[in-house]
Structures are given as structure tokens and as C-alpha cells.
A and B are shown apart, each in its own frame.
Chain A
């Protein structure tokens, strides 16, 4: 530790982390409590048990829900990573008529809550036979205006000189994006992947509407089954929520180094 100021920063971060992560801890602790103790509000479970986890993993279709969510989230994230970064690049780095209008138009799609779009999507899915299919669950999320906006902001920070240099070297238009610009904004791209994956992972309303059969359910839809008219099985909800968090933390762990230990502006990524 270099100086007292840094020590202070560590202390403050530590205290803040405790406060901020506390609810997450409580969720984990509750997941380890049997149903009869779930309301006793102890910080440390009196009789910790893995029964909730076993019940969720073996007596429900949790593995299936998990798998479905994984497929949908992975494909959607890949699609968003590619298309959104391409559009963001075009909007930030290429000059062409209508650029401003298109940007505003795409941005405008962020301003309509999904709740209102769900019924037209359902009508569309019904007409094209997408109901209860992976495509049906995925299609609204394959591109996102959020990603376009984020990437565009970061792309605007990429120096034009780099691109000009690339052009002089004979790099194709697509290559300028793929080989020169994209590596420059790796932190933003990594962030976008994390958020897209997470958003998809937790999506509830549209999947509920488009899914018909038990074997197509995604995680949020499945976890919702633990709630009913006669209340919620909080012990199972906490256990399944804790399990549901793992892949997201995994994605975060892998990608967060891209965000932080990003690259400097000298040199090109190969």
C-alpha cells in the first residue's frame, strides 16, 4: 500500500462492498435454510441444509430451464455483439446521408417499453409458427438499441487516423471495422456482452407469453413456478436464484478482465 489515501480507499471499498453485497449474502443464507426456518431472520442458518438445492436440481426441471436459458442467452449475446458493434461503428465512423436520422430512430426503439410490444410479437409469432420455439424466445433480443448506443459512443473515441491508416494499407471496409476498430473498443464490447447475457438470462414477460410447454421453459419462467396462489416457496426461490446467478458470474469473471485490463492505443490487435 502506497499511502494513507490508498489505505482509505481500500477501507471504504471494503465497507461499501459489505453493504452492497449483503442482500446477496442473505439470499445465499436463506437458500441454505429449511422451509421451517426461512423466516427466522438469522444471519447464519441455524440448521444449514442443501435440501433446497437438491430439490431444485432433482425434483424440478431446473436443468432443462438452465439449458434453455443458456442456449437463448448465448446466441442472443453473440448476435448482439456482432450486429450492434457493426451498426455502432457505422453510425460513429462513416459519413453518409441520413446518419443522424437512423441513429435517432434506433434510439427511439429504446423508448417503447417491451410490455407494449409483447402482444404484436405474439400475433406475429402465431402467424409464422414461432410459438414455443427457441427462435420465438430469442428473436426480439437479437439486436438491441442499447448496444448500438453504447458501441457508438465508444467508437466515436477511436481516432480516425487509425482508420485512415488502415484504408491506405488497403484494408476493406469490413476489415476496418473487424480488424481495426473493434479491437479498440474491447472494453465496451465486453461490457455489452455481459449486459446482454444478463438481460436475456433474467427476461420474464416475453418468454412467459411465447412458451407453451414445460420443456421449453427458461429459468425465470421456471422459477416463477415456485410462486402460486398459496404463496411462494421462498426457500426454493432463493436456492434456484443462487444457482441461476452462477453462469452470469462466470461470464462476468471471464469478460471483466477485458474491460479492465484493456489495451492501449498503440499498435493493432492481431
Chain B
């Protein structure tokens, strides 16, 4: 390949590459502007920006593959990457442009999750972690002096802010439970770990949470619903009902990701704040779940388009872009340096999320849909069918192990 990296001169056809992401107004507007900037800096490259409804994004991308359609640079949820890598849809990031050493030096530790078979396959502009959102007005009204630091304080706060009507129906829940929302991530990477068990083996191939400690962690969570009655599943309808309830002032606390900040800000009438996720004891282990959306280069990008795609990707994950992303979209930057910015750490809303990033782990998903369902079902078995938590957990572990085994059996490694 004799193509030079220094752009194509005037008088030649511009190279056109396509970029896909899911629709989110602030992201779409920002990327349109960023593309203009990029094209100004790179006169030989033209970038076409296409975006699709979030709910059908994975289906859209997947359908494009057998049709031989698709973009050159693509935005994917990090949890989908192993599937796409195994399907041969992504190209590994070339080491010359994206050296693993530099990646590990510049990006937050979580990003190591996109290393697969010793190569990096995609990189993020922004990352997220979980925190505890709390309704300051409700806490104050319940005489809670400050937001909880430990899970015991959390339980007390939840109990005191739960309100029931004359017929015994909960009208305000202390904690917006949502197993299918962020709670299953919280159970996996926060509760299990804090109760003393790692959810998976280091190589990600074995499920290790089916232990007495794991069962205790699960029981603690389900007790919130069945024993203490501080949370109701599907309190508000819809997949994001827990957040809707918080925004409506009907849930005193929720565990949610930093991507929710804009929504909460736009809709909440009451005073609200954010604190880091609680832990078991004051000095106890801290843990968090992090996730991120990555940009990767697909197999469609060949020849001059590949060079252009590499440039565009480098641009997308560069520090200036991350900075403006934080301002305009409100998502945490993926760069260590930016994340360590003391101003950011001191921000009342972003601070707790930044803190969480330091010890956040991103679960290595081989089949996010199925793995999520396993834990959601386990919670439902305990809550609805009164199954003993240990039994539900054992069954969940068996199901999840099957999913992992199936993936690793086929994955021969490249």
C-alpha cells in the first residue's frame, strides 16, 4: 500500500467514508459540527454521518452485515464488540496509529476491555459509570441529614422516604429498583464484589458468583423489594420507569449511569444530587460498573477509505473532541488526563461519577442480551416465585456458564 498518510492533494477525488451512530440529538448535532472541523483539517476526506433510532440500532447494524452494507467507522456498545469481532466485522486497530502502550497510558483502565486476542478493536470518546442519584427534598423531608455512604444508611434512607397510601399502595418508593435497568450491572460488579466474590474468573470464561456470599448479596438486593418494601419493580411503566419515577419525584434514590444526567436535569422539579455508590462499611471495598460506546473500523474500510477511517477515528477519540463532548453531550471523557482534572472531580454532579471511574469495571459480555436476562430472571424468581436466593443464583450461574461456554468454544482466537 503506497498511500501516504498526508492527505490527498487538491485536484483528486475526495475519499468518502461513512460513520454510523445511534440518534441522540446532542450527539448528532455535535458530530455534524465535528465533521465540518475534521473535513477542514483534512481536505481530501468527506464524512457522511448517518444515525438510527436507539431501540433498533443493533438490529440495523446487524442487518447491514449480510447485505454487505454498512459504514466505515461505526459506533458500538462495548458489550457487542466480542460478537462483532468474532463475526469478522471489525478490523483491529493498526498498531502504528493506535499503539496499545499509548492506549493504556492515555485512556481510563476500563478501556482495556476492548482488547481482545491481544489487539485493540475499538476506542471510546466517552465513558460512563454508575452513581446514586438522590432527591434532596425527599431526603430532607424524611430527616435524613446527608445522602448515604454505606448500604445500611442507604436502607434507612430508603425506608424513611417510602410512602404508602391508605390502601397500602406505595406512592413514593425509597429506591427505584430496576433489575432490567442498571441494577443487574450493580449486582454483578458492585454487590457481588463488595460481599466478597468476583462475578467472573479473570479470563472471563467462568461464572464464579454462585457462592454463599453471592447469595447473600442477591438476598440483600431482593430483600429491598420483598422484606423492606422500599422498591417496586415496574413502579413506573417502561424500561426506564425507574428514572421516570425519580424525575417525577416518586423515587427518592436511583442507581443510574452518567448518561442520565441530561434527562434528569431536564425533567426533575425537585432538588437532586449525586453521590458515589454506597459500600458495605465506611472503609469497605468500593466498586462500580463502567461502560462505554466505542468507535471501530469495519471491514468495509479498505484502501484509501481505511486511511481516512483511521484518521477520523483518531480525531474522534482525541482530547479536544473529548473535552467538547463533555461540555455539549455531558458524557465523561475517556482520557485519563481529562478525567483527573481537579475541576471535574470537584463538580457536584460529575465528581461522584469520576470517582467511580477509578475503580469501575466493565463486564466482559459475550451476549449482553442473554446475560442480562439471566440475572433479571434470578431476581424475579426470588421476588415473584419466592425461590431461595441461593437456588436462584445457582440456576442463573448454570445458565450463564452455558452462554459463556458456547461463545468460547467457537472462539478459536486469532
Query: Beyond A126-B67, A209-B60, is A230–B53 a contact (Cβ under 8 Å)?
Result: no
Q: Chain A nearest CB: distance from B396 CB in Å? A: 25
Chain B positions 6 through 23: 1 when the CB is less than 8 Å from some CB of chain A, otherwise 0: 000000000000000011
* Distance in angstroms between the alpha carbons of A213 and B49 in the assembled complex: 9
Chain A positions 221 through 248: 1 when the CB is less than 8 Å from some CB of chain B, otherwise 0: 1001101111110100000000000000
* Distance in angstroms between the alpha carbons of A123 and B267 in the assembled complex: 42
Residue pair B236, A39 in contact (C-beta under 8 Å): yes
Q: Chain A nearest CB: distance from B32 CB in Å? A: 11
Query: Beyond A39-B248, A131-B69, is A227–B63 a contact (Cβ under 8 Å)?
Result: no
Q: Chain B nearest CB: distance from A36 CB in Å? A: 5
Q: Chain B nearest CB: distance from A141 CB in Å? A: 18
Q: Flag whether A7 is at the interface (Cβ < 8 A).
A: no
Interface of chain B residues 25 through 79 with chain A (CB within 8 A): 50-56, 59-60, 63-64, 66-69
Please give the number of chain A residues whose Cβ is less than 8 angstroms from any Cβ of chain B in the complex.
Answer: 29
Q: Flag whether B1 is at the interface (Cβ < 8 A).
A: no
* Distance in angstroms between the alpha carbons of A66 and B24 in the assembled complex: 21
A-B contact number at CB 8 A: 78
Residue pair A230, B56 in contact (C-beta under 8 Å): no
Interface of chain B residues 235 through 269 with chain A (CB within 8 A): 236, 238, 240, 243-245, 247-248, 250, 259-260, 262-263, 266-267, 269
Residue of A nearest to B269 (CB): A36
Residue pair B53, A231 in contact (C-beta under 8 Å): no
* Distance in angstroms between the alpha carbons of A214 and B49 in the assembled complex: 10
Residue of B nearest to A59 (CB): B25
Residue pair B240, A230 in contact (C-beta under 8 Å): yes
Residue pair A209, B63 in contact (C-beta under 8 Å): yes
Query: Beyond A39-B250, A122-B67, is A208–B53 a contact (Cβ under 8 Å)?
Result: yes
**Residue from A38, A126, A213 in contact with B68 in the complex, judged by beta carbons closer than 8 Å:** A126
Q: Which residues of B contact A131 (CB under 8 A)?
A: 69
Q: Flag whether A3 is at the interface (Cβ < 8 A).
A: no
Residue of B nearest to A132 (CB): B50
Q: Chain A nearest CB: distance from B252 CB in Å? A: 15
* Distance in angstroms between the alpha carbons of A209 and B263 in the assembled complex: 27
Query: Beyond A123-B66, A209-B63, is A228–B54 a contact (Cβ under 8 Å)?
Result: yes
Q: Flag whether A105 is at the interface (Cβ < 8 A).
A: no
Q: Flag whether A253 is at the interface (Cβ < 8 A).
A: no
Interface of chain A residues 30 through 70 with chain B (CB within 8 A): 35-36, 38-40
Residue pair A229, B267 in contact (C-beta under 8 Å): no
Q: Flag whether A249 is at the interface (Cβ < 8 A).
A: no
* Distance in angstroms between the alpha carbons of A122 and B266 in the assembled complex: 38
Residue pair A40, B67 in contact (C-beta under 8 Å): no
Q: Chain A nearest CB: distance from B67 CB in Å? A: 4
**Residue from B22, B64, B269 in contact with A228 in the complex, judged by beta carbons closer than 8 Å:** B22
Q: Which residues of B contact A204 (CB under 8 A)?
A: 56
Residue of A nearest to B293 (CB): A229
**Residue from B50, B238, B263, B267 in contact with A212 in the complex, judged by beta carbons closer than 8 Å:** B50
Q: Which residues of B contact A126 (CB under 8 A)?
A: 67-69
Residue pair B23, A122 in contact (C-beta under 8 Å): no
* Distance in angstroms between the alpha carbons of A228 and B243 in the assembled complex: 13
Q: Chain B nearest CB: distance from A228 CB in Å? A: 4
Indicate the member of A122, A125, A204, A205 with the most B CB atoms within 10 Å. A122
Task: Beyond the given A39-B245, A208-B52, A221-B53, please list 15 additional residue pairs across the A-B interface where CB-CB is below 8 A.
Answer: A119-B66, A122-B69, A123-B66, A123-B67, A125-B67, A126-B69, A204-B56, A208-B60, A224-B55, A227-B53, A228-B24, A229-B22, A229-B24, A229-B259, A231-B244
Binding site for A on B (CB under 8 A): 22-24, 50-56, 59-60, 63-64, 66-69, 236, 238, 240, 243-245, 247-248, 250, 259-260, 262-263, 266-267, 269
8 contacts between A and B (CB under 8 A): A38-B248, A119-B67, A208-B59, A209-B59, A224-B55, A230-B262, A232-B240, A234-B244
